[in-house]
Chains A and B, each alone.
Chain A
Amino acid sequence: MSAVIERVAPLRWTAALLAALGLRGRTLVIAVPMLWLLIFFLVPFLVVAKLSVSEPAIAMPPYLPLVERDGARMTISLSFENFGYLFDDPLYIKAYFFSIRLAFFSAVLTLLIGYPIAYYIARSSEARRSVLLMLVILPFWTSFLLRVYAWQGFLRSNGVINNFLLWTGIIDQPLVMLQTNFAVYLGIVYTYLPFMILPLYANLVKLDEALLEASADLGGRPLPTFFHVTLPLSMPGIIAGFMLVFVPAIGEFVIPELLGGPDTLMIGRVLWNEFFSNRDWPTASAVAIAMLIALVIPIMILRTAQQRVEEE
């Protein structure tokens, strides 16, 4: 690498310039993701944070500016009333808990379904593996929205599933599946399954088979071997997959909106209501900020668990 830099004049000059500025290649490599986070996470976060302490108004945009200038006088007005609302009304707290509960159970279900799949793929022959992995990723080729709409077609009262069951005579009244929490679980598990399978696979495929053989040699039957060897070793993969499903599922809006019933009280929908029906952008922002803060705790717990597992 450095030989190339030495040989190509412009690269050499750039390297010399950067060295003169005190920047080294390593700093630059880290700077790219940092810049990315700065632009696409920190800046929007600050905008939302600013909005959450403004006051709503009938105006365009519908809130009052934080900083007002009147000649030499400048007033900054911050309103924390919006956060007060969140505690005034049990609705918000309930929505947070409902979302966390739903996301948690969805992640557990996804894990239960994803683990055997990932395990099977990891234990397949190399040629087979790439085909199977391809199949896992294949659904991403179609828009996520379209796939959720397709589920509507399956689940509705005169949809594919009900028509089939009616035709076979298993049921004589259509089952109400659409607009229920069942449909939401189904939608989330279906959509997020690849996010569970891929990290699990990446972990399981690295599993040293010698360990399994050692266990067998020492008289370990397959099931105890799985619980004492494979499962503990795959913990980092489980935690990574769990986080990839659990965290985005909490803020999920599209799936509960399209498949859920009116009593699917997810925080994403509460936020939508604040933003659209109340046109109260400040409170909507407060809901978002509060969710972010509420999310930090479970994420930190999972992170430390993951670190502990990796250290062992």
Chain B
Amino acid sequence: MIRSLSLAGLLAAAAALPALAQDKVVHIYNWSDYIAEDTIRKFEAETGIKVVYDVYDSNETLEAKLLAGHSGYDVVVPTSNFLQRQIAAGVYQPLDKSKLPNLENMDPELMKAAAAYDPDNTYGVIYMWGTNGIGYNVAKVAERLGEDAPTDSWSLIFDPKYAEKLADCGITLLDSASEVFPSALTYLGLDPLSKKPEDLEKAAGVIEAIRPYIRYYHSSQYISDLANGEVCVSLGYSGDVFQAAARAEEAGKGVEIAYSVPEEGAQQWFDMMAIPVDAPNPEAALAWINFIMKPEITADITNYVWYANANTASLPLVDPEIRDDPAIFPGPDVLAKLYPAQVYDARTDRLITKLWTRAKTGQ
């Protein structure tokens, strides 16, 4: 009797073993619309680690959760300038690089650029990178401004003369002061990284002047709205605009969306995978990061989200249409015009938010 009981116990234990492996969970917190459809499934199949996947659409949302502590997330994907400040706040744990053999696939030049925010890439690995530029509805803009519309210049958005004519078909800005101010500064011919209050005041003046023509300020809504023709010009993230373009094409309603990196210059940013210091499952987090760095996985994501990656080994697997598009993988001439994302000190942050709220509300 006892013997058969222990046998049953053994059997139960044996049955429980794979179940235990299944019970391992990794909590990922990433940007919305920012992963291939099958990435999570493939990771679960390969490692047996279950993925809980949540999304946000602004760095501010992510940061609030991280700073509150005990976010419960194992991997988060802040933009490089936010990563830098969060490192200073003690939010992250250093990456155990012995668990990340796929780091050898990464482009050393881009990783070096990212190291400007995160010395020696101690805390972060590049997930995707991109630029902030102009997404626009080709036909509607041409209809209102003619064929020689300045679609490769910030004046398309920031010059009231043009903005006024585009207002009825809808202009949108990202709802983030740290993305819009540098663009407005570039438009004025000022240093996009300027922290001088007088420069920022001028930039706020530019943003306020076009306020009557802005449909809304939002950081993800414009993807679907560009695609279905609800709005026609957006200051947006490169890949998001390409997604809008792809969706518009799929819908087949004749909406054509294009993206341009304005000739005055544009912000280049890196989204970095990092592990919070209080991550419940750092081992699984490392497994996830290493998995993402596989050439075929990164290529899948780039092919789906239309963002440039920093994974050299993945490039042969990326669709030529994307790989050869200079707006996604810019050539040296465009790269030279890009500037990094700025990190503001608390005082400048407060000033910018105040100016931003004022410019947005007209109050």
Q: Please list the residues of chain A having a beta carbon within 8 angstroms of any beta carbon in chain B.
A: 56, 58-62, 89-91, 94-95, 156-158, 173, 179, 261-265, 270, 273-280
Contacts and interface: CB of A to CB of B under 8 A. Distances in A.
Contacts of B324: none
B22 interface: no
B46 to A, nearest CB: 33
A61 B216 CA distance: 32
A89 B354 contact: yes
24 contacts: A56-B346, A58-B89, A59-B89, A62-B89, A91-B354, A91-B363, A95-B363, A157-B170, A158-B230, A179-B216, A262-B214, A262-B360, A263-B362, A264-B361, A265-B361, A270-B357, A273-B357, A274-B353, A277-B177, A277-B356, A278-B349, A278-B350, A279-B60, A279-B64
Nearest to A98: B363
A265 B85 contact: no
Given A58-B89, A60-B91, A277 B68 contact: no
B217 A262 contact: yes
Interface size class of B (residues with CB under 8 A): 35 or more
B336 to A, nearest CB: 31
B350 A276 contact: no
A58 to B, nearest CB: 5
A278 B88 contact: no
Contacts of A61: 67-69
Contacts of B354: 89, 91
A278 B215 contact: no
Nearest to B358: A91
Interface in B228-280: 228-230
B277 to A, nearest CB: 8
A265 B68 contact: no
Contacts of B67: 59-62, 279
B357 A91 contact: yes
Given A277-B176, A277-B356, 13 more contacts: A56-B346, A62-B67, A62-B89, A94-B363, A262-B216, A262-B217, A263-B360, A263-B363, A274-B353, A276-B60, A278-B353, A279-B60, A279-B349
A110 B113 CA distance: 57
A281 to B, nearest CB: 8
Contacts of A265: 357, 361, 363
Contacts of A90: 363
B313 to A, nearest CB: 35
A276 B61 contact: yes
B175 to A, nearest CB: 9
B146 interface: no
A89 B88 CA distance: 29
A278 B345 CA distance: 10
A58 B88 contact: yes
Interface in B85-143: 85, 88-91
A205 B356 CA distance: 51
Contacts of B177: 277
A62 B353 CA distance: 17
A276 B349 contact: no
B357 A275 contact: no
B229 A158 contact: yes
A262 B363 contact: no
B66 interface: yes
Given A156-B230, A278-B350, A261 B362 contact: no
Contacts of B349: 277-279
A79 to B, nearest CB: 14
Contact of B89 (A60, A89, A262): A60
A274 B64 CA distance: 11
Interface in B174-226: 176-177, 211, 214-217
Max chain B CB contacts within 10 Å: which of A58, A61, A89, A277?
A: A277
Nearest to A157: B230
A138 B62 CA distance: 35
A56 B91 CA distance: 16
Q: Which of B353, B354, B357, B362 has the most CB of A within 10 A?
A: B357
Contacts of A157: 170, 230
A89 B354 CA distance: 9
Contacts of A273: 353, 357
A279 B86 CA distance: 11
Interface string B285-308: 000000000000000000000000
A179 B67 CA distance: 31
A262 B69 contact: no
B213 to A, nearest CB: 11
Contacts of B61: 276
Contact of B60 (A60, A89, A263, A277): A277
A168 B61 CA distance: 43
Interface string B159-185: 000000000101000001100000000
Interface string B337-363: 000000000100110011011101111
Nearest to A270: B357
B169 to A, nearest CB: 9
Nearest to B276: A60
